[in-house]
Amino acid sequence: MEPGREKEECLAYIQAFLEGNKEVTSHLSKSFLHPACQQEVQAHYPQLCMALLFRLAHLVQPEPQGINFFWGEYRSQKMLIPATPVRSAVGDLRALMQGAGYVEQIISIQKQGGWDMMMSFEAHHRGVGLLARAMRRNPVEERSWMIHHLLNVLRSGDKTQHLSALAFLVELLHCADLSYQLEEVVLRLRWQLSNQKLLVHWLALQGLLNLACQPEKVVTLHYLLPELLEQLKEADRDVIAKALMVIRHILTTLGRRRASRAALLVAEKILPFFDDVSSRLRFLTISLFGDLLRLVQRMDKKSMKMYVLKSFVSLFFHLEDVNPKVSESSWDTLFTAAALLGWTEIQPLIQRKETWKICECLLMRNRRRADDFLMESLVYIESPQDPIREAAVRFIGLAARQIEDQNEEKLHKLCSILNDLLLDQKPSVSTLASQTLLILKVTWNQPAAGCTLGALFTACLPFCGGDSHGERHEKQQQPVPS
């Protein structure tokens, strides 16, 4: 075929594909790579890229529609059907990028496994994200056209294209040049928060986080704070973590009064996560709580003190958290909490990290709350972390001595809990439980406490005993109900 004729055909194939003609797909790679077509490929790169991306989105679907979509193109041309239609579509996309001169981006995607991801339904969104990440270096005009087109796709409600469009858009949001499209972008992401699909939910939050990390854009997210707080009710911890990070960025850009009021709303929602099984969530919420305490203004301090008192015991126990980041954030937040409460005598102890002097000081200055603190500490007896269980036993021993209302029922409950800990797999915990039972006997078995308590302690004594470690474990084999 004459070179001039070949060029005309390649250009015709490209134009036909842009116009929606699916019968020319078998000629695309050759057309994109034809030297004489480079200018045409570069001029229409955004449109061609989006068309190929959504063609691939159809093909990668697990339902028969994906394969039938591809096979139909080849059957209409009476051609042999390739063994791997998805791979062929990915090849067309690579050829397009090569023809447009984006060889470095092709290599970058290859190194991260992006091309293989695009051929897998489960990992397709990740591959699309890597493709979009490579496009962040493209000219701003190309990115702007793509964002505009992606927003139209999200607005259309096309379920097959939806996930690919969202994954691509999220990566482009790292770019600073969104200009007039920003409000529309935020609106589309907001709508995704109510989507029932977890992956869509996660991608929407990632998109909001990408915007929140840019000071000039985070102000557009202020009105989303109530909806972001609702995300904390989700079961998926990755979703919760993303929401927390967006919330944190939003709070730092609110005015003082608004930030103070918002801090109260957020504090109420995040306290339960201090004890979450995810160390990431523990770290995020504890460190965020410290930020909230620094944001609160005088008119809201009284309300915030209520949350601080609820959190103090939890923060204290997480000083012993096995995760270093959680432990360190607990120290920082505990210091800020003590400052807000005006507990100046505790602050130096926190700075010196004198854990048990902090505990003694806490209980001495809050004798009336000692019972509440004791009840709160019982939760940590069941902690999967050995250091926290050990700290809980020690705390119980110290707190029990400060309780004014020493009654038989309360003592029975404490003895029962400590008796169970005599069988703890961690020797240091079981030993400390034994010692604590003895301390409680000495502390509570006083004339003022009445003979009944003394008799009850006598009943508890066989479970803890002052025996050697070996003798104690022999007694553990046949515990007597308390």
pLDDT of residue 418: 87
Q: What is the pLDDT of residue 468?
A: 35
What is the DSSP code string of 398-437?
A: HHHTT-S---HHHHHHHHHHHHHHTT-SSHHHHHHHHHHH
How many Cβ atoms sit within 10 Å of the Cβ of residue 349?
Answer: 21
Q: For residue 1, count CB atoms less than 10 angstroms from its CB and return exposed for 0-12, middle for 13-18, buried for 19 or more.
A: exposed
Q: How far is Cα 315 from Cα 310, in angstroms, rounded to an integer?
A: 10
Q: Which amino acid is at 144?
A: S
User: Helix/strand/coil (H, E, C) string of 197-266?
Assistant: CHHHHHHHHHHHHHHHCCHHHHHHHHHHHHHHHHHHHCCCHHHHHHHHHHHHHHHCCCCHHHHHHHHHHH
Cα separation of 121 and 59, whole Å?
9
Report the chain's terminal Cα–Cα distance, integer Å. Answer: 97
Domains of the chain by residue range: 1-172
Handedness of CA 320, 321, 325, 331 (dihedral sign): negative
pLDDT score, position 11: 77
| C-alpha–C-alpha distance, residues 83 and 1, integer Å | 29
Q: Are 239 and 205 in contact (CB under 8 A)?
A: yes
> Is the alpha carbon torsion for 37, 42, 45, 47 positive or negative?
negative
Nearest 5 degrees, angle CA 344-CA 345-CA 350?
A: 90
Burial class (CB in 10 A: 0-12, 13-18, 19+), 216: exposed
- Res 84: pLDDT: 77
The model's pTM: 0.83
Q: Which pLDDT belongs to residue 45?
A: 93
Q: What is the pLDDT of residue 19?
A: 65
Per-position b or e across 125-152, b if 16+ CB within 10 A of its CB:
bbbbbbbbbbbeebeeebbbbbbebbbe
Task: Identify the pLDDT of residue 452.
Answer: 40
CA 199 to chain centre: 13
Q: Look up residue 212 and give its amino acid.
A: A
Per-residue pLDDT of the chain (482 residues; tens, 9 = 90+): 455 677 777 777 777 777 666 666 777 888 888 888 888 889 989 999 999 999 999 999 875 544 444 444 544 554 444 447 889 889 999 999 999 999 999 999 999 999 999 999 999 999 999 999 999 989 999 999 999 999 999 999 888 899 999 999 999 999 878 777 899 999 999 999 988 899 999 999 999 999 999 988 999 999 999 999 999 998 899 999 999 999 999 999 998 999 999 999 999 999 999 999 999 999 999 999 999 999 999 999 999 999 999 999 999 999 999 999 999 999 999 999 999 999 999 999 999 999 999 999 999 888 888 888 999 999 999 999 999 999 999 998 888 877 766 667 777 788 888 888 888 889 999 999 888 888 777 766 654 443 344 444 444 444 433 343 333 334 343 443 34
Return the DSSP state at 21. -
